[in-house]
Amino acid sequence: NAGVMQNPRHLVRRRGQEARLRCSPMKGHSHVYWYRQLPEEGLKFMVYLQKENIIDESGMPKERFSAEFPKEGPSILRIQQVVRGDSAAYFCASSPIGTDESSSYNSPLHFGNGTRLTVT
């Protein structure tokens, strides 16, 4: 039973280029969460998606960042015109039910091993 798969594991981009990070959730999971971890810091929530819907993007920077989770295929986190400050580890998690679907949420999120983005 494959876990959450993220690719690429490492991504190097020059300033101004675009970065595309992919996340395939665990089988049977239709809820995806993206987190960012800057060096020496904790994980910060970015966005929560269900298939074809963005449920909560309160942690997403207002510009240059977007996320999607199409009906078919992986979830994509897209960063346009990257800057050095975007260098970080980006983690994806999935769950079989959404954290917004119950006031008593009883299902752990399962995380991938992340994509490490380096902007030069």
What are the residues binding another protein (CB under 8 A)?
4, 33, 35, 37, 41-45, 48, 56, 89, 91, 93, 99-100, 103-106, 108-114, 116
**CB of 50 vs another protein, minimal distance in Å:** 14
**CB of 20 vs another protein, minimal distance in Å:** 19
Angstrom distance (rounded) from CA 110 to CA 92: 8
Judge whether 27 and 2 are in contact, CB under 8 Å.
yes
The C-alpha angle 11, 17, 20, rounded to 5 degrees, equals 50
CB-wise, 82 or 93, nearer to another protein? 93
